Chain A
C-alpha cells in the first residue's frame, strides 16, 4: 500500500516570485520526513505541490514510481491532515471519516465497519454521531487523522497539524501520530516550524530556508553535526568561530582565529580539517575556566546567568562575542578574565561557505 515519494528538481513560482528552487527530496517507503523551517521557507509550498493544489514551474513528482505532476489533486490518493483540522462542519464524525471511502465507492456494511474500526483506533468510537462543532481541538485532530488514514493512502502529509493545540496535548498527539504512522507503515511528509516536534517524530528532517533544503539528515546528525552555518545556527550553535590552519603536525593542527587567538585541534576528533574552516559549538562546547595556564580563547567575562546544570557567561574575546558554560562548583566573577577551552566532543568543523 505504502509507496516511496520522489521529488525531482522542483522549481515553483507565485506569480513572478520564486518560492522553491531546484528542490529534490526522496522519502523512502514507510519513512517519516519532516520539512522544518520558518514561515516563508517553502515547506508548505512543497506540501501543496505534492498534494496537487499548486503546479511546479519545472520538475517532477513521483509516488511509487508513477508520475503525479500532471494529475489533478482528487486523483492523487494522498491523505492530508491540516492545521485547522478542516473537518466538514455539516457532517457527523462518522460521515467525516467515511467521506473518502464514499468517494471510492465503498458503501454499506464495509464502509461503516471500516469507519468504526478507524474511530476505535483513534479512541473516538463513542463520538461517531457528534458534529465537529461539538468536539475539542484534540478530538478534532484525531478525526482528521482518522479521515486521512481510513482511505489507506500510499502517502500521508501533515501541515502543521499540532499548531492549534496547547503544549501538553501537542506532545501527546505527536506520540500518537508517530505510533499510528509506524503501525501502518505509511510514508509520511510532516511540515512544521517546531524543531522539537520535527526532531522527536521524524526518521529524517529537511531543514529548509529560502526555498531550498539546507540539510536533510537524521535528527541526531542535524543536532550534533550540522553541515553548514545556517543549520548550525538553526539548531542552536551560538559560537561560530572562523579559523585558518597555520601549522599541521601529524595528528594535530594549530589554527588561528581573528585577533591572533590560537587553538590546537586533534584530527582524530574532527577528521580532515580544511585550511580554512569554522569551529562551531553551543555554549557547552566552550568551557570557561579561571586557569590561565590552559590553552584556550582569552576572554573578558560579561553577564553570568544560572542555567540549573551550569553557569553561562556572555564573553568578549578577540575573536568576537562568544557564549561559554562554566561549572556550578566554581562560579567565575562577572568582569573577570578567563580562558574558554573548546570541548572537542561538543564542537564541529564547518567547511567554508560557498558564497550563496
Chain B
C-alpha cells in the first residue's frame, strides 16, 4: 500500500532542502577551485587551497588553539553545568521557578556585548592571560547550552531510582556516578557536541579576547579574508564543517543520532 503524496509538497521539500544544503555545496565547490580567487562553480579542480591552510603557520597555530579552547571550555561547562542541571531538576519543587530561566538567560545577551564586557571587565581589569580569558569566555558562552540540554534529559529521569539505589546502601555521590550519569549519558554527549561546536565556531566573543600571538581559527579566517580573497577561506570552512560532521559521525557510530531528537 502506497500513500499518495501531493506533488507540491515534494516540490516544497526539495526547495527547502536546496535552501539548506545549497550554501554548503557552494562553499565546498569554491574550496576545490584551481583559481586564485573565490568563484563558483569551480574552475579546474585542485586541493591546493587545503594544502595552503597548513602552509600558513597562523592557521596551523590557530587550529590547535581553537581545539584546545573548545575542549577546555566544554569540559569546564560540563563540570559546572551537570551539577547545576541536576540541582535544578532534583529540587525543582523546592526551588523558585525563575531560577531555571536564569541559567538560560545568557543566551539572550548578544554575544558581542558579552565579549566586550569580558574584555573590559576581565581582560583589561585584571590583565589576565589571553588564552585563559578565551577559555573563560567560551565556558560562559556554552554553559547555558549544557545546562539546557542536560536538564532536558534529566526531566524524564525518575528520581525515585536514585532513592532506590541509596536505600540499597549506595552513598549519594556514588549513586550520582553509577546510577544517574549512565542514565543521562546521551544528554551529556549531546551537550558536549553542542558546546564543542559552538565554541569552535565562535567569532563574536573571541574577536574581543584574542590578542597578540593568540587567536582562534574563525578569527584568523577573518584576518586572512581582509588581505586575501583566495579560496583558502572556503577550504577552512570545509575543514570546520568536516570537523563537525566528524564529531557527529563518531557519535552516530557509537550511540546513534536518534538521541538528539529526544
Contacts and interface: CB of A to CB of B under 8 A. Distances in A.
A59 interface: no
Interface stretch (B101-109, B125-133, B166-174, B241-249): B166-174
Interface residues of A, number: 26
Interface residues of B, number: 17
A151 B158 contact: no
Contact of A103 (B158, B160, B163, B170): B170
B137 to A, nearest CB: 36
Contacts of B52: none
A151 B169 contact: yes
A89 B163 contact: no
Contacts, number: 60
B169 to A, nearest CB: 4
A271 B169 CA distance: 52
Nearest to A73: B166
Contacts of A103: 168-170
B160 A84 contact: yes
Interface in A223-268: none
Between A53, A74, A82, A104, the greatest number of chain B beta carbons within 10 A of the residue's beta carbon is seen for: A74
Contacts of A73: 163, 166-167
A79 B170 CA distance: 13
A86 B168 contact: no
Nearest to A51: B167
Contacts of B164: 80, 82, 86-88, 144, 147
B256 interface: no
Given A88-B179, A90-B182, A99 B170 contact: yes
Interface in B157-196: 158, 160-161, 163-172, 175, 179, 182-183
Contact of A79 (B160, B163, B166, B167): B167
B34 to A, nearest CB: 53
A86 B164 CA distance: 6
A56 interface: no
Contacts of B163: 51, 53, 73, 80, 82, 86
Contacts of A144: 164
B57 to A, nearest CB: 47
B158 A74 contact: no
Nearest to B185: A90
Nearest to B159: A86
A303 to B, nearest CB: 46
Given A84-B160, A88-B179, A90-B182, A99 B165 contact: yes
B167 A88 contact: no
B158 A86 contact: yes
A152 interface: no
B161 A88 contact: yes
Contacts of B161: 86-89
A148 B165 CA distance: 10
Contacts of A87: 161, 164
Contact of B168 (A53, A89, A90, A151): A151
Contacts of B175: 74
A63 B164 CA distance: 19
Nearest to A83: B160
A74 B172 contact: yes
A84 B160 CA distance: 8
A77 B172 CA distance: 15
Contacts of B168: 74, 99-100, 103, 147-148, 151
B165 A88 contact: yes
A85 to B, nearest CB: 9
B186 to A, nearest CB: 11
Contact of B167 (A78, A89, A90, A104): A78
Given A88-B179, A90-B182, A80 B167 contact: yes
Nearest to B161: A86
Contacts of B172: 74
Interface in B196-249: none
A312 B130 CA distance: 88
Given A88-B165, A90-B182, A90-B183, A74 B171 contact: yes
A76 interface: yes
A82 B158 CA distance: 11
Nearest to A144: B164
A78 B158 CA distance: 20
A86 B160 contact: yes
Contact of A74 (B169, B182, B183): B169
A100 B169 contact: yes
A53 B165 CA distance: 12
Contacts of A90: 182-183
B183 A76 contact: no
Between A79, A82, A148, the greatest number of chain B beta carbons within 10 A of the residue's beta carbon is seen for: A82
Interface string B41-65: 0000000000000000000000000
21 contacts: A51-B163, A53-B163, A53-B166, A73-B166, A73-B167, A74-B167, A74-B171, A77-B169, A80-B167, A82-B160, A84-B158, A84-B160, A86-B160, A87-B164, A88-B179, A90-B183, A103-B168, A103-B170, A104-B169, A147-B164, A148-B168
The list of the 7 closest CB pairs from A to B, nearest first, reads: A103-B169, A100-B168, A86-B164, A86-B160, A80-B167, A90-B182, A74-B166
Given A78-B167, A82-B164, A84-B158, 8 more contacts: A53-B163, A73-B166, A86-B158, A86-B163, A89-B161, A99-B168, A103-B169, A151-B168
